[in-house]
């Protein structure tokens, strides 16, 4: 049984996914499922999931998507609908295999977008709420400009060397799978807003005021079009990674949000 181990890989048949599991310390709480960014994995969260587990009493499941960390590799180039595929196909299969009961999806960047697609595009009866940190619901030129800079840093700077300890043999498929899709000219039309009306669970968006990958159009769209309640938390002195740039404020917001769920059922 996978719950007997704090670290391991779960087999979905066509792929094995690296995970970390933190046991709950309080009864009757949802499980928090962490979905990483476009260059992330289990290790990139560092100690933040542990802090959230301690503050909420919830069980926490953190995993690396295929092509990241110590999960199975993924062929490149990735399809431009890779986030849709994750939210509509792979995440439902993973959650069905895990049998966690009610869950709160906590996603960052790509992981936040995948969480929104899943919550609004599937029947997803077990989705209690979504925390979307720096989500994208559409592409923007500001995002593409930052991703172009990341390509330069990977090709001529130290970005590959910094990612290598996180992704090991997956480092090139992790980077090029993400970077190649976002910089494809056809990706400017990428959009997930059609799924927002189907989200009836509460959503908290956490975004830095200095986010270099997205503007206010992202959270304003979520607030206007989602089918359930949406709270937006804007953090000063914060760029694209709230849990890194403002960890205490982000932890406090998530802890309050999860606590408030006890009185809300969609």
What confidence tens digit (pLDDT) does each residue in 155-177 have? 999 999 999 999 999 999 999 99
pLDDT (average), residues 34-60: 98
Token pair for 66: 């295929």
pLDDT (average), residues 103-117: 98
Taking the CA of residue 252 as centre, how many other CA atoms within 13 Å lie in the half-sphere pointing to its CB? Answer: 7
**With 50 as the cut, is the pLDDT of residue 266 above it?**
no
pLDDT (average), residues 114-135: 95
Token pair for 151: 């390509």
**With 80 as the cut, is the pLDDT of residue 27 above it?**
yes
Burial 92-131 (b: 16+ CB within 10 A, else e): bebbeebebebbbbbbbbbbbbbbbbbbbbbebebbbbbb
264: three-class secondary structure by DSSP: coil
**With 50 as the cut, is the pLDDT of residue 60 above it?**
yes
pLDDT (average), residues 61-72: 98
pLDDT band for 3, please (50, 70, 90 cuts): confident
pLDDT at position 124 is: 75
pLDDT band for 88, please (50, 70, 90 cuts): very high
Report d(CA 132, CA 113) in Å as an integer. Answer: 8
> Distance between terminal CA atoms of the chain?
31
Q: From 3.40.50.1820, 3.40.50.2000, 3.30.360.10, 2.130.10.10, which CATH number describes the 2-261 domain? A: 3.40.50.1820
pLDDT at position 2 is: 82
């Amino acid at each position: 049984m996978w719950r007997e181990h704090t670290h391991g890989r779960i087999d979905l048949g066509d792929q094995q996914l690296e995970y970390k599991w933190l046991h709950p310390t309080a009864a009757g709480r949802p499980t928090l499922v962490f979905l990483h960014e476009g260059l992330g994995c289990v290790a990139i969260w560092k100690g933040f999931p542990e802090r959230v587990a301690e503050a909420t009493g919830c069980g926490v499941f953190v995993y690396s998507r295929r092509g990241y960390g110590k999960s199975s590799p993924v062929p490149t180039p990735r399809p431009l609908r890779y986030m849709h595929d994750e939210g509509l196909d792979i995440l439902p299969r993973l959650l069905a295999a895990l049998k966690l009961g009610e869950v709160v999806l906590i996603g960052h960047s790509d992981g936040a977008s995948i969480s929104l697609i899943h919550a609004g595009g599937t029947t997803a009866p077990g989705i209690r709420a979504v925390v979307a940190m720096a989500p994208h619901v559409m592409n923007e030129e500001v995002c593409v400009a930052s991703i172009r800079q990341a390509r330069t840093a990977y090709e001529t700077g130290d970005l590959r060397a910094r990612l290598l300890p996180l992704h090991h043999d997956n480092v090139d498929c992790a980077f090029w799978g993400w970077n190649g899709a976002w910089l494809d000219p056809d990706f400017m039309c990428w959009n997930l807003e059609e799924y927002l009306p189907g989200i009836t669970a509460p959503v908290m968006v956490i975004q830095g005021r200095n986010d270099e990958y997205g503007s206010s159009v992202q959270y304003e769209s979520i607030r206007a079009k989602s089918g359930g309640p949406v709270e937006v938390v804007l953090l000063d002195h914060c760029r694209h990674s709230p849990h890194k740039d403002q960890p205490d404020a982000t932890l406090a917001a998530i802890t309050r949000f999860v606590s408030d769920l006890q009185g809300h059922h969609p």
